[in-house]
Amino acid sequence: MKEFCKKYWPYGVTILFWIICIIAACSCSRSLKKENEKLREELAKAQQYVPLKRDTIRDTVQMITQQVVEIEKVKEVLTKEDKELLKDMNAKINAIESFQKIGMETMANVVLSRDTADDAENERLPPKGSVLTYKDAWLDLKYNTLNQNLLILLHDSLAISVEREYKKRFLWWKWGTKGYQVKAVSFNPYSTIRYNTYVKRKR
């Protein structure tokens, strides 16, 4: 046994050395993977809050314009929350061709008026004058002063277009692709687009 140990101990030391190297490499790889994932999430979040170019069309309708992010794999810039959302949607992340997320904020400053409608035949309706209301094409508010109930009905509509930017132009000829721009319009005058992210897989 002693002769065996003396004869083969260099091989044992070598094997042990390689095992330690493999464990260290795996540990380092996992650490780098976590770091890369963190950087990708930070990149994705930063892209969401890039300042938008804002315009007004039809006098009052706000429109935003932003460059489309082109990348080899869409999943590289998806945040953890985005991936969880796509998983809940039963979407295969590796098969995603493009992904868009729009952040909206709605704020309305309105003057409520008393609802004077009175229907004695329907006992379920609140007493006359106990409901404050506001209504227009986009917003419907009803506040019952008796039970403190507030009903909010908000209508919104979004229009989104993706436009190709040509690399070269000559007279009326256009060719090549420089990139893409996404344009989004919110028709609700109370809503504002705070951020927009559109990620597209490179062709």
Q: What is the pLDDT of residues 118-139, one digit of tens each?
A: 544 444 555 556 788 888 888 8
Q: What is the pLDDT of residue 106?
A: 84
Same domain, residue pair 37 and 79: no
Determine the Cα angle at 140 with ends 135 and 141, to 5°. Answer: 100
Most confident region among 106-115, 165-174, 190-199 by mean pLDDT: 190-199
Residue 127, SS3?
Answer: coil
Residues 6+ apart with CB under 8 A from 145: 130, 131, 132
Residues 62 and 32 in one domain: no
Q: How high is the pLDDT of residue 8?
A: 61
Same domain? For 94 and 118 the reply is yes
CA distances from 35 to 15, 31, 72, 81, 199 (A): 30, 6, 20, 17, 22
Asked if 119 and 106 sit in the same domain, the reply is: yes
Residues 37 and 135 in one domain: no
Same domain? 97 vs 44: no
Q: What are the pLDDT digits (tens) for 90-108?
A: 888 888 888 888 888 888 8
Instruction: Work out how many domains the chain is built from and give that number.
Output: 2
pLDDT band at 197 (very low <50, low <70, confident <90, very high): confident
Looking at the structure, tell me whether residues 44 and 75 fall in a common domain.
no
Structural domain that includes position 27: 1-48
pLDDT digits (tens, 9 = 90+) for 153-170: 888 888 888 877 787 777
- Across 37-51, 59-73, 117-131, 154-168, least confident range: 117-131
Element (H, E) at 143: strand 139-144
Are 161 and 183 in contact by the 8 Å Cβ rule? The answer is: yes
Rounded Cα distance between 157 and 62, Å, is: 12
Euclidean distance between CA atoms 44 and 36, whole angstroms: 12
For residue 28, what pLDDT is reported? 61
Are 20 and 105 within one domain? no
- A 10 A CB-CB count for 200 gives 19
Tell me the mean pLDDT in the region 35-51: 62
Contact (CB, 8 A) for 45 and 69: no
Nearby residues of 89 by Cβ (< 8 Å), 6 or more positions away: none
Q: Phi and psi of 10, rounded to 5°?
A: -60, -35
Per-chain mean pLDDT for the chain: 76
User: 192: Cβ–Cβ under 8 A, 6 or more apart, which residues?
Assistant: 62, 104, 105, 106, 107, 186
108 and 174 belong to one structural domain: yes
Instruction: Write down the pLDDT at residue 121.
Output: 47
Query: Is 34 in the same domain as 118?
Result: no
118 in Cβ contact with 200 (< 8 Å):
no
Please report, for residues 65, 95, 103, 134, 177, the alpha-carbon distance to residue 52 in angstroms, rounded to integers and kept in the order given.
6, 28, 12, 32, 22
Q: Are residues 4 and 32 in the same domain?
A: yes
Same-domain pairing of 11 and 94 = no
